[in-house]
Amino acid sequence: MPPTEPVADHCGTCSACLDVCPTGAIYEKFVEGTKQPERTLKKVKSTCTFCGVGCQVDLNVDPETNRIVKITSDPSYVSNDGNLCVKGRFAFNFVHHPDRLTEPLVRGEDGELRETSWDEALQAAAEGLSLVRDRYGPQAIGFLSSARCTNEENYLVQKLARAVIGTNSVHSCEAT
């Protein structure tokens, strides 16, 4: 029975058709650029970074370049049954972007940012928050979180704000 409306009217551009195409005629064009055939890509299980739902994904990594070349999901994954939205499937190029910070930075006495260790960066952040809290009170500090964080991460942000700093000024932007 033919559909009453064109299929394109119902397409959410999630590209789920890639997973169910029986002939392999529909595939990600960027896979053509990898140096390894798809069958030799290494799969690394992870959690999608684009919202707090917690969809489980497989990062398909080219072992020669150690770069993500595509993202898939297995139907056995409980949180999303193998389904991915368009962001979860295709928005991963930021991982390898040259402008991405890969080391913590702290501002030196000269005002310039410099790379440092995680221990030193966390110590500098803790000292800065303590200084502001002690000098101006806990309500002088506010915490911003994100809908891209998991529920557990957002819980920890509000716990830090309320139990450690003593402020109820916590907000989470729900726009992704």
Predicted TM-score of the model (pTM) = 0.63
Helix, strand and coil in the chain, % to nearest 5: 35, 20, 45
The predicted pLDDT at position 38 comes to 63
- Read out DSSP for 30-96? GGGG-SS-GGGPEEEEEE-SSSSS--EEEEEEETTTTEEEEEE--TT-TTTTT---HHHHH--GGGG
DSSP count for the chain of H helices, then E strands: 4, 7
Name the residue type at position 96: H
The predicted pLDDT at position 22 comes to 82
Torsion-angle region of residue 6: left (phi > 0), alpha (psi -120 to 50) or beta? beta
**Reduced to 3 states, what is the DSSP secondary structure of residue 157?**
helix
Pull the structure tokens for residue 175: 């726009």
The predicted pLDDT at position 1 comes to 47
The predicted pLDDT at position 39 comes to 64
CA 11 to chain centre: 25
Which residues neighbour 148 within 8 Å (Cβ) at sequence distance 6 or greater? 49, 50, 51, 52, 176
List the chain pLDDT tens, one digit each, 176 residues: 455 554 455 666 677 777 777 887 777 766 566 665 666 889 999 988 887 788 899 999 988 889 998 899 998 998 888 888 888 888 888 888 999 999 999 999 999 999 999 999 999 999 999 999 999 999 999 999 987 787 888 999 999 999 999 999 999 876 54
Q: Measured between alpha carbons, how far is 125 from 148 in angstroms, rounded to an integer?
A: 22
pLDDT in tens, 49-68: 887 788 899 999 988 889 99
Name the residue type at position 110: D
Which residues neighbour 104 within 8 Å (Cβ) at sequence distance 6 or greater? 115, 116, 117, 118, 120, 121
Q: Measured between alpha carbons, how far is 71 from 13 in angstroms, rounded to an integer?
A: 16
